[in-house]
Amino acid sequence: TPSDPSHAVPLGYLQDNYGQLLPGGASSTWVINGSDIYNVNSGNVGIGTTAPGAKLEIVGNQILSYGYVSGALNIGANVNSTVRSSNVRKLGVIAAIDYSNTRNIEIFSSDSDNSTRNIVNFGGRQGGTSYAATEIRFTTAPNSSTQGGTTRMLIDNNGNVGVGTSTPGEKLHVYGSGAQRIQVESSDANTAAFKMKTPASEYGFFASGALDRFSIYNYNSTSYPLVILGDGNVGIGTTNPEAILHINDISSNNRIRFQKSGTEWIDFNDGSFNDVQIEFMTDGNKYVSLGVDDTDDSFKISHAGTLETNTAFTINTSGNVGIGTSTPAYKLEVVGTSGIGAAAFVNNSDINLKFNIRKIDNALEKIKSLEGVYFDWKADGSNSVGLIAQDVEKIFPELVTGKDGQKGVQYSNLVAPLIEAIKEQQIQIDDLRKKSDFRFIGSGINYSPSTGSHGVILSQDFPSEFRKGMIVSVTGEAKKRYNNKLKITSTLATVKLSTTKEDKTVYGIIESELNEGVNSWYQTNPGERFAIINTIGQGKVLVTNMNGSIEAGDYITSSSIPGYGMRQADDILRNYTVAKAIEKVDWNKVTETIEWQGNTYKVYLLGVVYNSR
């Protein structure tokens, strides 16, 4: 034992109750006070080693009982540092830090109350829930004991991170029940970003508060493939979408496709010819295309080809529509054969749209000059019928149009001259009627009935309105032609509506009123009216049920109702017999009626054979 402090050696001891260890010629380094031992200098401390390489180095087999460090434990911090705080959580170590028995290190909180503690587990556990020795697990437990607990996050031996799951299958695996979300928040009020990167590509997701939009950014091409604005507009290929879906810059290799199955779809693209078009595909083949042809800015529909080929329908920049042609010269131009079912074509014909209106003269002669022909089309050899445009042009030049040296006929406009031609022809027919007692019209084996048409003068009291089929009687007055030019047709009877039952003066059935005289020899007097009367042959007569039912074969005579007939009371042909019925009348099905002298009678237009008296 040294006799004085000058003979001190590097080794010494500390008593259990109190003492101090002093190096030679120096002040005290260790101080013992009760059960506490502490170093007042800043040298390294070694336990089980004479050459500590750190502030505290322990060498040897140590068994530490379960427990915790009372108060606050600061590691690597100055006692006066602001890191130290009176409410710093405790650091506890359970069991041993030993590789062989695969136990773990746990870091947990030890609050004074019994609330849930936060725990970090390193490695496995002995006597508790079995954890893998090669994972880091973050759990919460209901009390200071770390037995069990709920895993909140885990890092397994593959480097996969699980949040809410203990079996992560990816580098980051987030799981939770109910509605879940991952929030990426930036302190910058304008932009929050999330980036994904591979060796070949790099993309970022951006939420911009200043621009009020969400976007996907391609770092390789420095472009925005997708942008969603705050108003809901979505842009693909544009950063400023102006519609709910705005797709920009679709080249021949880019398209929008709606696909039903492997070989059926609809494509929206600009095509290989810079044509903006929609293509309908079936069995992998182009079936129908429609869009704007870049070569002439026309809207076209094509079949099994491009818009420039196999064009079926065209609307050009002049508003002309073409079917079977891609260069229509008229508002509607159809090239090729066509079939029309129940359809109607309407042309503007309002008089307010026209001026310099003139009558078509000599229409019949002009129509007679046209020649209808059969012909074959050179294009496909199909047979057709029509007119030759060059022939029509000589007579109706207004109806012929043409382009590229080819002429066409506006067939619909031929209706007007045809109407006038028919009217002129009808006048000629009426003139022939006036000159003959008999009228035979027909051809081949189809003959119309002989009606014995006669021209007559209508009496002064003859009503201005009457019906075809009314019975007329002679007044007893007739106009005759003399001066040695007497002919069979040189007599004009004057007639009135029959008003007497079984009238023996009945003459025939009125057909129509004429607008001019019936015979050229008769000089018409002012106020005179003329008509055509049928007297023999097959025709019709207006009858009522005044005298009961009418059977086929019954005779018809006049009644007291002006102009109307009825069934004759007997079957004997008499001088007042008008006609013979050729059909039966079912009065139960007749709906037309007439009022006469307080009674209501049914009216029917009866088929008859006229009787000549």
Which DSSP string do the residues of 534-592 spell out, in sequence order?
A: E-SEEEEEEEESTT----TT-EEEE-SSTT-EEE-SSSS--TTEEEEE-S---GGG---
Tell me if 87 is assigned to some domain: no
Integer Cα distance of 481 and 468 in angstroms: 29
Number of structural domains, the chain? Answer: 4
What is the 3-class SS of 185-254, one letter each residue? CCCCCCEEEEEEECCCCEEEEEEECCCCEEEEEECCCCEEEEEEECCCCEEECCCCCCCCEEECCCCCCC
Residue ranges in the chain whose pLDDT is less than 50 = 1-2, 5-14, 18, 35-36, 65-104, 110, 124-129, 144, 146, 435-450, 484
Tell me if 599 is assigned to some domain: yes
At 233 the pLDDT is: 92
Q: What is the pLDDT of residues 191-241, one digit of tens each?
A: 767 788 888 888 888 787 777 888 888 888 888 888 998 898 998 888 888
Give the end of a domain, one of 334, 361, 382: 334
Tell me if 205 is assigned to some domain: yes
485 and 584, same domain (yes or no): yes
Tell me if 430 is assigned to some domain: no
589 and 466, same domain (yes or no): yes
Q: What range defines the domain where residue 222 resides?
A: 191-247
At 127 the pLDDT is: 42
**C-alpha 505 chain-centroid distance:** 75
At 225 the pLDDT is: 85
User: Collapsing DSSP states into helix, strand and coil, what is residue 397?
Assistant: helix
412 and 446, same domain (yes or no): no
For the entire predicted model, the pTM comes to: 0.36
458 and 400, same domain (yes or no): no
541 and 591, same domain (yes or no): yes
Tell me if 151 is assigned to some domain: no
514 and 584, same domain (yes or no): yes
Question: How many residues belong to the chain?
Answer: 613
321 and 445, same domain (yes or no): no
223 and 272, same domain (yes or no): no
At 373 the pLDDT is: 93
506 and 597, same domain (yes or no): yes
- If we measure between CA atoms, which residue out of 265, 232, 225 comes closest to residue 249? 225
Are 456 and 495 in contact, with CB atoms under 8 Å apart?
yes
262 and 373, same domain (yes or no): no
Tell me if 56 is assigned to some domain: no
Tell me if 531 is assigned to some domain: yes
484 and 393, same domain (yes or no): no
Tell me if 463 is assigned to some domain: yes
464 and 586, same domain (yes or no): yes
